[in-house]
Chain A
Amino acid sequence: MDHSIESLAEERHAGGGVKEIWRVTIILSVLTIVELALGFSMIGMDEQSLKRHIIKGIIVILMLAKAFYIVAYFMHLKHELRNMIMTIVVPLCLFIWFISAFLADGNSFKNYKNKWDRNHLEHSKEKMPVQEEGTHHLE
């Protein structure tokens, strides 16, 4: 038994070694910097503008790219056997359904509430009283 574990440790040398680690590090850093640059570019942009939504979409795509690099190279999943990869990745595909269904549901709930509960809509248009500097600090 002990021998088989050792042979497993021996077998799993596939992968690019230190060179690959640094390559992935650079990719992750660049992706993060691009994300931050996009985040900065959104400051002051209109909340509901199409441009802002597009930038948010790009940030989400970059986020997924980062997730791929961490799982595939740092967690070494890319170099595992295909069957094993599938037992991890296929269940996670449920997220595609979870995210689209729940976000669409939330959005439609908001629209119905604004349409039928006028009181709620009016209330959500009230401005927050401007607090004087320092008053919101806890005593």
Chain B
Amino acid sequence: MNTTVTTTGMWKGGRSPFNVEYGKLMMWYFLMSDAFTFGAFLIAYGTTRFATNGWPDPNTVFRTYPFGGETHAPLVFVSIMTFILIISSVTMVLAVHEGHAMNKKGVAKYMVLTILGGLAFLGCQAWEWTHLYHEGAWWGRNPFPNADGTISTTNFTNFFFTITGFHGFHVFSGVIINCIMLIMVLRGVFERRGHYLMIEKAGLYWHFVDLVWVFVFTCFYLI
């Protein structure tokens, strides 16, 4: 049997030509459209930044961490947040992996760890937002000067709160989805169904949230 025969056979119907379950394929297309939404936000931010004289220096804006007082520790807190999200992504992959092995206990364990990671990230973000709010930053208010000491525009805070807020909302909904998955795992729904494909779909969403953070983190905190 040569390749042409197999390829045409795949598109003859009766099976998925992409060898992917319908729900999972649609999750991929949803994530692609979501990537365009986030991309539009980040490109709007980049365009505005390129069109503005001067911009606040992230290292002077994001320089504190909880219980640290007014210390000057740029990047420390946000790097902790980044690692929390990476680790929770890893535990999610491990949950999917346990799902392949039909190991209910393993899936449940790693789902719990993933949810904890998500909650830890949300806690960090809540702290950071509160801290910035008390420094006078919010939508429409920007207490931070540009890097060269000149007056900055409110675009900086507007974009920061809108984009990290939109990402935080994705993390929040991801945690909710993971909680539902955990309950379904514990009730043995997937075991009866014979496969843990649903965990893979939730996993795709969760990895996407981590993926977006890679971009948000770079665009707002590093460069």
Interfacial residues, chain A to chain B (CB-CB below 8 A): 2, 4-6, 8-9, 11-13, 17-18, 21, 25, 28-29, 32, 35-36, 38-40, 42-43, 47, 56, 59-60, 63, 66-67, 70-71, 74-76, 80-81, 83-84, 87-88, 91-92, 95, 98-99, 102-103, 105-107, 109-110, 113-114, 121, 123-128, 131, 136-138
| Among A6, A9, A67, A109, residue most surrounded by chain B Cβ atoms (within 10 Å) | A9
CA distance A13 to B100 in the complex (A): 8
A91: which B residues are within 8 A, CB to CB?
32
Check B214–A59 contact: CB distance below 8 A: no
CA distance A106 to B200 in the complex (A): 40
A32: which B residues are within 8 A, CB to CB?
79, 82-83, 86
Of A12, A36, A70, the contact of B210 (CB 8 Å cutoff): A70
| 10 cross-chain pairs, A with B, having the tightest CB-CB distances, nearest first | A106-B50, A84-B18, A106-B47, A128-B145, A106-B51, A124-B53, A9-B195, A136-B136, A63-B218, A56-B223
Check B223–A127 contact: CB distance below 8 A: no
Check A36–B90 contact: CB distance below 8 A: no
A103: which B residues are within 8 A, CB to CB?
43, 46-47, 50
Which of B19-27, B114-122, B159-167, B170-178 makes up part of the contact surface?
Answer: B19-27
Minimal Cβ-Cβ distance residue in A for B46: A103
| Among A81, A91, A124, residue most surrounded by chain B Cβ atoms (within 10 Å) | A124
A80: which B residues are within 8 A, CB to CB?
18-20
Minimal Cβ-Cβ distance residue in A for B222: A39
Main secondary structure of the interface of A (DSSP, over half): helix
CA distance A75 to B32 in the complex (A): 13
A43-B59, A91-B32, A137-B135 known; A75+B204 contact, CB < 8 A? yes
B136: which A residues are within 8 A, CB to CB?
136-138
Of B52, B59, B100, B149, the contact of A127 (CB 8 Å cutoff): B149
A9-B197, A80-B19, A103-B47 known; A35+B28 contact, CB < 8 A? no
Check A6–B208 contact: CB distance below 8 A: no
| Among B17, B19, B145, residue most surrounded by chain A Cβ atoms (within 10 Å) | B19
CA distance A131 to B137 in the complex (A): 14
Check A39–B135 contact: CB distance below 8 A: no
B157: which A residues are within 8 A, CB to CB?
none
A59-B222, A83-B18 known; A114+B53 contact, CB < 8 A? yes
Main secondary structure of the interface of B (DSSP, over half): helix
B100: which A residues are within 8 A, CB to CB?
9, 13
CA distance A17 to B98 in the complex (A): 10
| Among A9, A35, A74, A126, residue most surrounded by chain B Cβ atoms (within 10 Å) | A74
CA distance A127 to B149 in the complex (A): 6
Check A74–B89 contact: CB distance below 8 A: yes
Check A107–B90 contact: CB distance below 8 A: no
A28: which B residues are within 8 A, CB to CB?
86
A84: which B residues are within 8 A, CB to CB?
18-20, 25, 28
A70: which B residues are within 8 A, CB to CB?
89, 207, 210-211, 214
Nearest chain A CB to B117's CB is how many angstroms away? Answer: 13
